[in-house]
Structure 1
Amino acid sequence: MHISHRSVVGCLAGVALGIGSTVIVQRLQEQRLPQPGESQSRPIPALTSPLLLKGEPALGDATAPLTIVEFSDFECSYCRRFHEQVMPQLKSEYIDTGLIRFVHKDLPLPFHPHALPAAAAARCASEQNSYWDLYAALFDQQNCLNCKGVLAIAAEEELNTAALQACMERKSTVALINANRSEASLHNISATPTFVIGPTQSDGSLDGRVIEGALPWSTFKSTIDEALREVPRN
């Protein structure tokens, strides 16, 4: 899990769920466990208003009982861990079965030089009906973002890279990503990945619980099942 913070040159990882969770602060090659009683140096994320979901990339049934929003960074190693270890089971057991709608929001962190172009490329792939294909490829080839670049990865997915690059350079594309960043900041969301889980709303918004970190599948699953039990049934 990575954190965007002015005084942090590195990333924060761990699971911030429940009592006894461990937070790891990583600065370059130094890792330090917080000491007992040590105060939190940043505000705790919580929604101050519903998230706006209209126009964001989404998987699953729009009328699914539960919606999960991820704030993610394509260069974040913990986001890749979620993509590799959790997303396949989440998709097969909950998204494909109509129980969950999964929505992506971009939170490219400033110390990741390839995160913003990757976010722009993925959004622009939507114009070629290939958002989720490039989403997966960018995480699968995260270690190649530096040596290949996003356009080369997109070319391997048979995308029109000239059209993709033209879209990536539009001010409107960057504006969409910056709107996600601003929304995250409003709710004190600065870590990637961060998830918001709540009942699906017909007005295209989401209010719910904020969870930080690349949780193991067993924990993520139990959190989802608890949230599903709390969804009002007609």
Structure 2
Amino acid sequence: MAENTDRRFRLSSVIVIALGAALLGGLGTAVVMSSTLGGTATAPAPAAAEPGAQKEQTASGVPDLARRIDGDPTAIGAVDAPVVMIEFADYRCPFCSLFSRETMPKIMEQYLADGTLRIEWRDLPIFGDQSIDTAIAARAAGDQGLFWEYNAAVAAAAPDRGHPDIDRAMLIGFAEQVGVPDLAAFELGLDSETHRAAVQADLQEAQSIGATSTPIFLIGDEAIGGAQPLEAFQAIIERQAARP
């Protein structure tokens, strides 16, 4: 009990900072309304961004949640990489999709090839049942080695604002788009209780540290909230990599 309280306290500043980033930079936030996967979530409309208002928003002293599981389809990069970046995200969050489209490929190109960084995905489905269904679908694609391709395809189709409707037909369409070889197995995976439980476990982990908005990134013992520019991530990754 004391450990959980300590972890919540250490990350409470991260959540405040993430909310501050939303107000300053139009990054948007959402509040988890239920601790179960059948729950719903609401979010305020994104605030208008002021020119030059977006700044790096970080906090230090966050818990080490890196799993470093060899063969984990929801992770990419060397298991023994010196830096792990954990992304808590919702597939229907426009700012998560913005990061995936514009910033993630550059981070991967710069830091994965040389072994500096490992990226671990965490589902934080705060925009309702369709977010949960999409998270399960990505894991079903991951069963066939295409988690990250599926993840990117969903982000590529997302609008710049608002939360897209993603029905079952679209989930299957994304699988076809990325070349999932066994579509019948994929469709069975859409109803997988194992995948649903894994999404639930990620959600509970996020709640255990007080994370209620998306996207949030834990990089080593630092955190950053919102779809910040590439330079903000570079600064933290290189600072963490330089530590003995």
Equivalent pair of 1:2/1:78 in contact (CA under 8 Å): no
Equivalent pair of 2:30/2:42 in contact (CA under 8 Å): no
Q: Does 1:104 align with 2:126?
A: no
Distance 1:146 1:166, change over 3 A: closer
> CA shift at 1:149, angstroms?
1.8
Greater percentage in strand: 1
Tell me, what secondary structure is at the counterpart of 1:2? coil
**Which sections of structure 1, spanning at least 5 residues, go unmatched?**
15-19, 23-43, 199-207
Structure 2 counterparts to residues 64-83 of structure 1, below 5 A? 64-83=81-100
1:222 paired residue number = 235
C-alpha distance in 2 between matches for 1:172 and 1:108: 16
Q: Does 1:158 align with 2:179?
A: yes
Equivalent pair of 1:48/1:186 in contact (CA under 8 Å): no
Q: Which moved more, 1:51-60 or 1:133-142?
A: 51-60
Equivalent pair of 2:61/2:222 in contact (CA under 8 Å): yes
C-alpha distance in 1 between matches for 2:197 and 2:168: 27
Structure 1, residues 3-45: CA drift from partner, whole Å, max 9, x if none?
223397324869xxxxx977xxxxxxxxxxxxxxxxxxxxx99
Distance 1:58 1:6, change over 3 A: closer
C-alpha distance in 1 between matches for 2:142 and 2:226: 27
Could you tell me which amino acid in structure 2 is paired with residue 76 of structure 1?
C
Q: Does 1:121 align with 2:154?
A: no
- What percent of counterpart residues are identical? 24
C-alpha distance in 1 between matches for 2:114 and 2:200: 32
Structure 1, residues 179-219: CA drift from partner, whole Å, max 9, x if none?
00000000001111111111xxxxxxxxx222211111111
Misfit runs of 4+, over 6 Å: none
Tell me, what secondary structure is at the counterpart of 2:81? coil
Greater percentage in helix: 2
Structure 1, residues 83-107: CA drift from partner, whole Å, max 9, x if none?
1221111011111221101111111
Q: What is the root-mean-square deviation of aligned Cα atoms in Å?
A: 2.9
C-alpha distance in 2 between matches for 1:21 and 1:186: 28
> CA shift at 1:52, angstroms?
4.0
Instruction: Give the total of aligned pairs.
Output: 196
Equivalent pair of 2:62/2:223 in contact (CA under 8 Å): yes
Q: TM-score, normalised by structure 1?
A: 0.73
